[in-house]
Structure formats: C-alpha cells, structure tokens
Amino acid sequence: MTDAPTRIHVAGSAGTAPYDVLVGRQLLGELPGLVGDKAKRVAVLHPEALAETGEVLRQDLTDQGYEAIAIQVPNAEEAKTVEVAAYCWKALGQSNFTRTDVIVGVGGGATTDLAGFVAATWLRGVRWIAVPTTVLAMVDAAVGGKTGINTAEGKNLVGAFHPPAGVLCDLAALDSLPVNDYVSGLAEIIKAGFIADPAILELIEADPEAARSPRGPHTAELIERSIRVKAEVVSSDLKESGLREILNYGHTLAHAIEKNERYNWRHGAAVSVGMVFAAELGRIAGRLDDATADRHREVLASVGLPVTYRGDQWPKLLETMKVDKKTRGDRLRFIVLDGLAKPTVLEGPDPAMLLAAHAEIAA
C-alpha cells in the first residue's frame, strides 16, 4: 500500500483556475483523474531519455479509454526551441487534438516549460498536466504557470503564463537522478528557506549529508515545504506584478553566470553563487545581519553547492545583468533580505556596493 499523497493547493489568480500539486510515491494512478472525462485525447510529451516512462503513461491512459499519443522531444534545453514546438503542434494537428483534450508533460523543467507552452498556444490554450521528474522541476518549473521556449537571443524570451491543471511530483523519479542534478535542485529549496520558510534551513543544517540524497529522511518534507512557498506566492501574484519577484532571489547574478558559462553550469549552482552575492549585497546595504548573511555560505557549501565564481569575469557579468529582462530601464534590481524570510527589492544599488559584494564571492 502507498501513503496518500500530500496535496498542495494553488489558488487561481489573474482569472486562471486553481489546481493541486500532489507529492508522494507511485502517483501515476492519479493521472487519469486529473485528465478528467471531458478529454478524449491525451498527448504525453516526454524527452528521449524518458521514452520508457512516456510509454508507460501512454499505455496507462490508453487502458483508461483515452486516445493517447506520445510525443518524443529532445532532452533538456534542446527541446525549448520554436522548431520543437512546431513539431509538437504538427503532432497535435495530425491527431485532431481539440480544445477539451489534454497535454501531459513528463520530464525536467525544460520539458515541462515546453509542454506548458505548447498547451498555452494550441487552440489558444488547452489543459495540461505537469509530471516533473527532477527536484528543480518539482519545486520551481512545474508550479506557477510560467511556460516558454528560448530564442537565439536568450532563454525564456517567448512564453505565456498558463498554469497546469495539476502537478504530479512522484518522488520515486528522483531515485535515479544523478547526485549533481539532485544537489542543484537543493539551491531552489534553500532559496525557499531564506525567503520564506527557515524550517527548511534547519532541516538541512541538522544533517547536510542526508539532505544530499533523494532517499534522505527529509526529502519529501523539503520538497513539500518549497512547493508551499511557491504555491503561496503564485496564488496571489501569478503574473509577477509584485510579490512573485521574491522568487528571483539570487537569480539576477545567476542568470549572468549561466550566460557567461554558455549554460554549461547547472541552474542551481549559479543560483547558489547568486544567493551568496545577494546576501552580501544585503549586508553591505545595511539591511541583513552578519549571521544570516554568513548562513548562506555555510548551508549552501554544506551540501556541496558553489559559493564563489571567477573574479575576473565581473565586467561581463555586470553588462549582462544590465540587459537582463528583469532590469527596468537601466536600473538594476535585486531581491535582498531585510532579515531572515524578509525579502525586499533593492533598486539601483550604488556601483561601489555591487563591487564590494562581488569581492566577497570572487574566487
């Protein structure tokens, strides 16, 4: 027998429907219930690497009486292109996919971003269900309705807010995740700890080695707590007109690092360095106490995440941050902390302050 899954509710916002995020083990039996009886067809969109899982889901849905097709897309970010989206639109068209039919996106954050985008654009929006298989996708990408693809000019430049009709986080999917991918996801979990739920930090600090394992004693609780933080934020501000910006804690520098590394760094690793930078900025701006600023470096390093970056790259990082899509005019914006779990915006910080914060993360 399996335990009942934890159900985290995301309220509808900006005219969108509410939905639940289910967290547990062996959840795939929940899928037909989410697809519902109005749908006749279901498209299971999965990356090459998850061909087997995609087929299991497709077969399950067929057994339940749906006309289920599988759409295989390239692995990871390779899938987030307009060409791959067009390939998916073609598959939907050839299967006579209608407005009441449903897309299921199974995979990491790139796959769920693509699946959500295809769902947002097909017939101006059909229902979709996210089945995230990485920590990062469970706690971030699959919840909150940001969907999109990349263009030659940058990541996520084309997209739509299109929340899923449900999210299934099957923790069994994490058992086979490479340790570096698992640990990278911990950065977003730790972010949720600093911006809103310090109990997350306490759980990790109590046994950092255990926190590095998907079989650790607190895996489910860490993931559930992080999803709750995100669910609460996006329930009140889907379209990032205010509160949602706090989810970008550490991300302004992180995006610049990722670009500078030609996206060969894991997102979580860049967010880790970005959070240490943001903590230093908060400290230098006279907002954040020393102990909480230092706690960033300690907890992130304790699970094996990076806390420094090549010092000679600062001019390039600064330039990139200035053209970040979240910058307003040429005023840089950072989320900093006024104290533990007290995120706020720091706009247009003095260049000397930025340089001083950078000195603290320069390797």
Residues that bind ligand GLY (CB under 6 A): 140, 144, 146, 244, 247
What lies within 8 Å, CB to CB, of 312 at 6+ separation is: none
Helix (H) or strand (E) holding 203, with range, is helix 199-206
155 labeled part of a ligand binding site: yes
Supply the minimum distance, in Å, between the C-beta of residue 83 and ligand GLY. Answer: 25
Cα 265-214-272 angle, rounded to 5 deg: 30
Active-site option among 46, 58, 225, 251: 251
Supply the minimum distance, in Å, between the C-beta of residue 4 and ligand GLY. Answer: 27
Supply the minimum distance, in Å, between the C-beta of residue 143 and ligand GLY. Answer: 8
Q: Which is nearer to ligand GLY, 228 or 244 (CB)?
A: 244
The string of DSSP codes covering 1-18 is --PPPEEEEE---TTPPP
Identify whether 156 is a catalytic site residue.
no
> Residue 154, exposed/middle/buried by CB under 10 A (0-12, 13-18, 19+)?
middle
Q: Which is nearer to ligand GLY, 243 or 301 (CB)?
A: 243
77 labeled part of a ligand binding site: no
Identify whether 9 is a catalytic site residue.
no
Identify whether 218 is a catalytic site residue.
no
Q: Is the dihedral of CA 204, 278, 342, 225 positive or negative?
A: negative
259 labeled part of a ligand binding site: no
CA-to-CA dists, residue 229 to 241, 243, 322, angstroms: 17, 12, 28
98 labeled part of a ligand binding site: no
b/e sequence 195-204, b meaning 16+ C-beta within 10 Å: bbbeebbebb
Supply the minimum distance, in Å, between the C-beta of residue 222 and ligand GLY. Answer: 17
Active-site option among 41, 80, 127, 188: 188
Active-site option among 232, 240, 261, 360: 240
Residue nearest to ligand GLY (CB): 247
Residue with the two structure tokens 């804690």 = 249
Return the amino acid letter for 18. P
Taking the CA of residue 272 as centre, how many other CA atoms within 13 Å lie in the half-sphere pointing to its CB? 23
Q: Which is nearer to ligand GLY, 10 or 247 (CB)?
A: 247
The string of DSSP codes covering 293-325 is HHHHHHHHHHTT----B-GGGHHHHHHHHHT-T
Active-site option among 162, 224, 248, 260: 248
251 labeled part of a ligand binding site: yes
267 labeled part of a ligand binding site: yes
Identify whether 38 is a catalytic site residue.
no
Supply the minimum distance, in Å, between the C-beta of residue 234 and ligand GLY. Answer: 7
Identify whether 146 is a catalytic site residue.
yes
Identify whether 240 is a catalytic site residue.
yes
Identify whether 228 is a catalytic site residue.
no
Active-site option among 244, 259, 266, 358: 244
Task: Report d(CA 187, CA 184) in Å as an integer.
Answer: 6
Identify whether 162 is a catalytic site residue.
no
User: What 3-state DSSP class applies to 97?
Assistant: coil
Supply the minimum distance, in Å, between the C-beta of residue 356 and ligand GLY. Answer: 27
Q: Which is nearer to ligand GLY, 41 or 244 (CB)?
A: 244
Active-site option among 146, 191, 295, 296: 146
Cα 17-23-215 angle, rounded to 5 deg: 155
Rg (CA), the chain: 20
Q: Which is nearer to ligand GLY, 132 or 216 (CB)?
A: 132
296 labeled part of a ligand binding site: no
Task: Catalogue the active-site residues.
Answer: 124, 146, 188, 230, 240, 244, 248, 251, 255, 267
Annotated binding site for Zn(2+), which residues?
A: 188, 251, 267
Annotated binding site, which residues?
A: 109-113, 133-134, 146, 155, 188, 251, 267
